[in-house]
Each structure stands twice: as structure tokens, then as C-alpha cells.
Amino acid sequence: MTEKTTLLTFLRAQRASVLAILDGLDEKALATAVLPSGWTPLGMVAHLGDAERHWFQEIVTGTADPADPTPGTPEAVFAYYREQCRRSDEIVAATPLSAPPRGRHPGPFGAEITDLRGVVLHVIEETARHAGHLDVARELLDGCTGLGPR
């Protein structure tokens, strides 16, 4: 297995965890904030879609289509997230891991990201961190634990 394949395997597993953790929640639960941060599960999915767009389109390629405000329906938010993930996968497939980013993330963290490899690792970390938040939120919403891809 190549390094790129390994990284994509881990990224896709974290994305699948996000979706599996939320599977079966109704619209009301998806829009309910149960953590002090005020994030809702649906808001977190929209945020993860924005992160995919930002890191892979704006940072890796240096360009992105104008961001449309994500409509609040679960169907629209989940479709947005899946579309951003699909586009990210296309960019990763077409770009060497050693390729430097064409865009720059603002602030000091931007200087630490020097190639596609760093972007993929960062998005794996961010997705995994937020999957953990969603796991806790799901447990607080309906008591379900141990959710994720089987």
C-alpha cells in the first residue's frame, strides 16, 4: 500500500465515523446543542465540509468556487459534506504528496503546512477530533455509544 493510499484510508475512515455516529438522529436532535461550545451535530458536519473545502481547494490548489452558505436542512448539509469530501479526494488523487500548497492558511499554523502530506494529516486530525465531539454529543442526545463504521 502506498503512503497516499494509507493516508486516504485513514481520512475516509474518519469521515465515515462522522456519518455513522450521526446516522439515525432526527432533524431535531441534529439541531440540538448539548455541549457548552454550542455546536450542533449538523453545524459540526457543515464545519467539516468547510474544512475540507478550505484545506484541499483553497490551500492545496489555491482556488475554490465561491462558498455558498450551507442550507440548514440535514439533507443539504450532509450532501455538502459528501461533495466536499469527493472534491478533496479528486485533488489528492491528482497531486503529489510532496506538492507545496498554492494557497496559505492564515496565521502561524499556515507556515507549518508545507505540502499536501501535511494537509491530509491535518484534516485527518481535525476530522477525528470532531468525530470525538460528535460521539459525546450522540451519547448525550440519546445514550447511544460505540457508533461508527462496522
Judged against a pLDDT cut of 50, whether residue 150 lies above it is answered with: no
Is residue 150 domain-resident? no
Is residue 148 domain-resident? no
Is residue 147 domain-resident? no
Is residue 24 domain-resident? yes
Task: Please name which of 144, 120, 5 lies closest in space to residue 60, comparing C-alpha atoms.
Answer: 120
- Is residue 50 within 8 A of residue 81, CB to CB? The reply is no
Task: Provide the pLDDT for residue 70.
Answer: 64
* 66-97: burial string, b at 16+ Cβ within 10 Å, e else: eeeebeeebeebbebbeebbebbbebbeebee
CA distances in angstroms from 43 to 39, 55, 70, 109, listed in the order given: 6, 18, 10, 24
- Model confidence, pTM: 0.94
Task: Provide the pLDDT for residue 116.
Answer: 98
Question: Can you tell me which residue has the cell 499556515?
Answer: 110
Q: How confident is the model at residue 48 (pLDDT cuts 50, 70, 90)?
A: very high
CATH number at residue 102: 1.20.120.450
Is residue 13 domain-resident? yes
| Domain membership of residue 127 as a residue range | 3-142
The mean pLDDT value for 42-67 works out to 94
Quick: pLDDT tens for 91-140.
Answer: 999 999 999 999 999 888 888 899 999 999 999 999 999 999 999 999 99
Q: How many domains are contained in the chain? A: 1
SS (H, E, C) the chain: CCHHHHHHHHHHHHHHHHHHHHCCCCHHHHCCCCCCCCCCHHHHHHHHHHHHHHHHHHHHHCCCCCCCCCCCCHHHHHHHHHHHHHHHHHHHHHCCCCCCCCCCCCCCHHHHCCCHHHHHHHHHHHHHHHHHHHHHHHHHHHCCCCCCCC
Is residue 73 domain-resident? yes
Is residue 149 domain-resident? no
